[in-house]
Amino acid sequence: MSKQVDVYSMQMILIYCKEYDDFINIVLVCKKYKYVLDRIRMNPIQITPKTKNLFKYIQTQQFFTPLDIKLNTNKSIFNYPKCAKECVIEKNNNNVCLLSVYTNDDRTYFNDIIPDFIRKIGNNCFENSNMTTITLPLSVIEISRFAFSGCLNITEIILPPHLTELGNFAFDDCGSLKEIKLPEMLEYIPDSCFSKCSSLSSVIMNSNITKIGFNTFSECAFKDFKIEKNVLISEHYAFSGCEKLSKFEVPQKVRFIGNFAFEMCIQLKELVFNNNVVFQDGGCFKECTSLTKLVVPFEYMKRVYVATESEKVIFESLGIEISNIMKTENVNEKVYKFDNFNILQGSMSVYSDYIHLGDLDVLDENLYCLNEHPKMYIPSTVVNVNADLNHFENPIEKLFIPENALLIIENDFNVYNAKNIFVPSTVTKIQKCCFSGSNLEKFVLSQSVHEIGKKAFSDTTSLTSLYIPKSVTKIGKRFVSGCTNLKSVVFEDGRIFDLNKEIQKQYDIRSVTSNITKLDKNIEFPLDSTKIEVPSAVTKICNCYFAKYTNLCEIVLPTTLQIIKNSIFDKCIQLTKISFCCYSHLTNKLNQNYETIE
């Protein structure tokens, strides 16, 4: 038995709608919903030029961003961060600020007293201050990055019980801080949070913490440290340089230890790890010269452990034999096998005539260990590939991919250096830009492929032929644009195809004119220019814009310029002079390839 939604219930449902079209469609469902939007007294979505007429009778307006259009209402609720001073003003006007942030500017206004309504301590708020104690109100739930960094005189700080998030470097270099208790609701200690706290000898952790970040407790004064039982991950350099640390208890649940995690813990006596621990690469025990007991599951590890010279001495003194340790950075063998590893990752170099990848499960990114090989067979055990093989000095003649691999179905396949790639029949789609800019010479798609993504083979200048089976029913735009040496594209179903038109770059290059407001890839100055004067109408310059002007020596920027994107002067090695007025707010965006700025 069907039952219709009454008007009141529909009014409740509307609160959860997020798109403009959703509200319009509901009004159009039937006559009884015609005026349902007039019953709403508080807007559930942002007020924009498009939505401002949806809710004609709201009494309280919610603001989701500073750019929301303000309506004439009795009350306002601000759902985005506002500084403490502004929150006080709004509160006096009977408005509500849900996320109040105490900023560096607020310190002067409130005389370094944090009001009891503050939810967040802002970035760099107390950085390098001379305060000795800090009292945080119970309302605080977040402390942002660098909030108390460099506060050398702070000896004590009590974190509020409802704190859920700490920012990177939050208490970095607090040299006088001796003890810290982490609240129960905190689940993660972020990167460098307590690094260089040279007096910190005690940390009381809660049982909910599962991860210790990069460099978190480096150069602290612990003599002993106990990780709570639920911690799973300890990142790179987590306890590096803790020279007084002599005892460290590792819980059974720990599953990951990052590079150089205990580097320079010169008084550390004992470390015992469970059999399931994964070490990122190596260096974890570098210069731990006082170790008398070390239990590490090397015999269970199926990944390369890159040992430092000091670690080799430590392992030898403790009688530890490691069969799968990479003892040198470079391996020169006729045949090198990876049969003992199930994950291959990192910057290890292997120079061999033939490489056997054995029983690998994961082929990870930045894989420089496969240099100089004319053929590469990825074994059938590999199920996931985040491959970035485009930096090799010599191209791979053939790359064979197993049927189980998920690499082309995902977006992490980045192999530009193979001339021929053999794709398994399990692949049904060639992703967007999958082989863009690669060294492919010819390519035959299997009958399993149904779709070719946008720019799939674009700018592959070495590609000479392409065979497309009749199974392909969808082809993205510009899939072979820029393939200047492509001579033939053969469709199995015999469809007509204008090769020359498709190869051409499908955007028009225009010369710079005085009314241009944006410089992007479609707008060009003469490519041999040594001096460029940007028109006064220009307000934005896009990423890497001047990279193609390799002869550029001097540039004049207009005062109208508002936005400079990243690396606009990349590759401009001749550039020595940049001239413009009022540029101080822009200089942090400029690539440092010039000698002077006027």
**Least confident stretch, 230-234, 419-423, 465-469, 553-557:** 419-423
What separation in angstroms does the CA of 39 have from each of 4, 147, 491, 507?
19, 44, 59, 49
Q: Is 8 strand, coil or helix? A: helix
Which residues, other chains included, contact 548 with Cβ-Cβ below 8 Å and sequence gap of 6+? 527, 571
Q: What is the pLDDT of residue 138?
A: 95
Q: What is the pLDDT of residue 387?
A: 45
Q: What is the pLDDT of residue 347?
A: 38
**Least confident stretch, 61-70, 187-196, 420-429, 516-525:** 420-429
Q: What is the pLDDT of residue 255?
A: 86
Predicted TM-score (pTM) of the model is 0.57
Q: Which residue has the higher pLDDT, 134 or 589?
A: 134
- Number of H-type helices and E-type strands within the chain: 6, 48
Confidence of residue 467 (pLDDT cuts 50, 70, 90): confident
C-alpha to C-alpha distance for 598 and 579, rounded to whole angstroms: 5
Q: What is the dihedral of CA 580, 586, 588, 593, to 10 degrees?
A: -30
pLDDT at 148 over 60: yes
C-alpha to C-alpha distance for 412 and 405, rounded to whole angstroms: 12
Q: What is the pLDDT of residue 206?
A: 87
Please report how many Cα atoms fall inside a 13 Å half-sphere around the Cα of residue 293, on the Cβ side: 9
Q: What is the pLDDT of residue 162?
A: 94
Q: What is the pLDDT of residue 190?
A: 94
pLDDT at 350 over 90: no
Q: What is the pLDDT of residue 80?
A: 92
Which residues, other chains included, contact 401 with Cβ-Cβ below 8 Å and sequence gap of 6+? 378, 385, 407, 408, 421, 422, 423, 424
Residue range 440-468: mean pLDDT, rounded? 84
Arithmetic mean of pLDDT over the chain: 79
Confidence of residue 322 (pLDDT cuts 50, 70, 90): low
**Least confident stretch, 389-403, 444-458, 497-511, 582-596:** 582-596
Token match 């199920």: residue? 383
User: Please, what is the Cα angle at 531 between 528 and 535, to 5 degrees?
Assistant: 110
Residue range 383-396: mean pLDDT, rounded? 43
pLDDT at 86 over 70: yes
pLDDT in tens, 401-421: 555 444 343 344 445 556 666
Q: Which residue has the higher pLDDT, 586 or 416?
A: 416
Token match 């079209």: residue? 21
Q: Which residue has the higher pLDDT, 370 or 235?
A: 235
Q: What is the pLDDT of residue 569?
A: 87
The two tokens of residue 569 are: 């002067």
Confidence of residue 114 (pLDDT cuts 50, 70, 90): very high
C-alpha to C-alpha distance for 456 and 459, rounded to whole angstroms: 9
pLDDT in tens, 35-54: 999 999 999 999 988 898 99
Q: Is 588 strand, coil or helix? A: helix
Q: What is the pLDDT of residue 363?
A: 39
Residue range 316-321: mean pLDDT, rounded? 84
pLDDT at 389 over 80: no
Q: Which residue has the higher pLDDT, 508 or 6?
A: 6
pLDDT at 299 over 80: no
pLDDT at 365 over 70: no
pLDDT at 393 over 70: no
Q: What is the pLDDT of residue 419?
A: 63
Residue range 381-402: mean pLDDT, rounded? 45
pLDDT at 153 over 80: yes
pLDDT at 178 over 70: yes
pLDDT at 582 over 80: no
Q: What is the pLDDT of residue 480?
A: 86
Q: Which of 457-464's residues contact partners 24+ apart within 8 Å by CB, and which partners?
A: 457/483, 458/433, 458/482, 458/483, 459/483, 460/435, 460/436, 461/485, 462/419, 462/438, 464/488
Q: What is the pLDDT of residue 503?
A: 65
pLDDT at 271 over 50: yes
Q: What is the pLDDT of residue 416?
A: 54
pLDDT in tens, 495-537: 777 777 776 655 556 788 888 888 887 788 888 889 999 888 8
Q: Which residue has the higher pLDDT, 426 or 387?
A: 426
pLDDT in tens, 206-264: 889 999 999 999 999 999 998 888 888 888 999 999 999 999 988 888 888 888 999 99
